C-alpha cells in the first residue's frame, strides 16, 4: 500500500484525472479516494459490486456520496 501511494501521490492522480477529463465539474468526488477504493477495496476481497465500491469509497472519503450521486 505504501509503495503504491508513494508511486501515485494524490496530486499526481488529481492532475492526471483533470488532463483526462475524468471529472466534469468540481464537487464532492475525491479522485485519489476513488482510485484507492477501487484498488484496495476490491483487492482486499470486498464485494465486487457498485454498491460495495461505493461503500468502500464512503468509508475512506471526507464526504460521503449518495447512491444517486455515485452512480451519476
How far does Cα 25 stand from its chain's mean position? 15
Nine-digit cell at 61? 472519503
Q: What tens digit of pLDDT does each residue of 4-51 get?
A: 778 889 899 999 998 998 877 777 788 998 888 888 776 666 557 888
Q: Cα–Cα–Cα angle for 32, 69, 8, nearest 5°?
A: 10
User: What pLDDT score does 52 carry?
Assistant: 83
User: What pLDDT score does 12 carry?
Assistant: 92
User: What pLDDT score does 43 carry?
Assistant: 67
Does residue 63 come out as left (phi exceeding 0), alpha (psi in the -120 to 50 range) or beta?
beta
Q: How confident is the model at residue 2 (pLDDT cuts 50, 70, 90)?
A: confident
Amino acid at each position: 500500500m505504501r509503495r503504491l501511494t508513494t508511486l501515485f501521490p494524490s496530486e499526481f492522480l488529481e492532475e492526471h484525472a483533470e488532463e483526462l477529463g475524468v471529472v466534469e465539474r468540481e464537487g464532492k468526488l475525491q479522485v485519489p479516494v476513488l482510485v484507492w477504493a477501487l484498488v484496495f477495496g476490491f483487492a482486499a476481497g470486498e464485494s465486487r459490486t457498485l454498491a460495495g465500491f461505493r461503500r468502500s469509497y464512503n468509508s475512506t472519503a471526507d464526504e460521503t456520496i449518495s447512491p444517486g450521486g455515485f452512480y451519476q
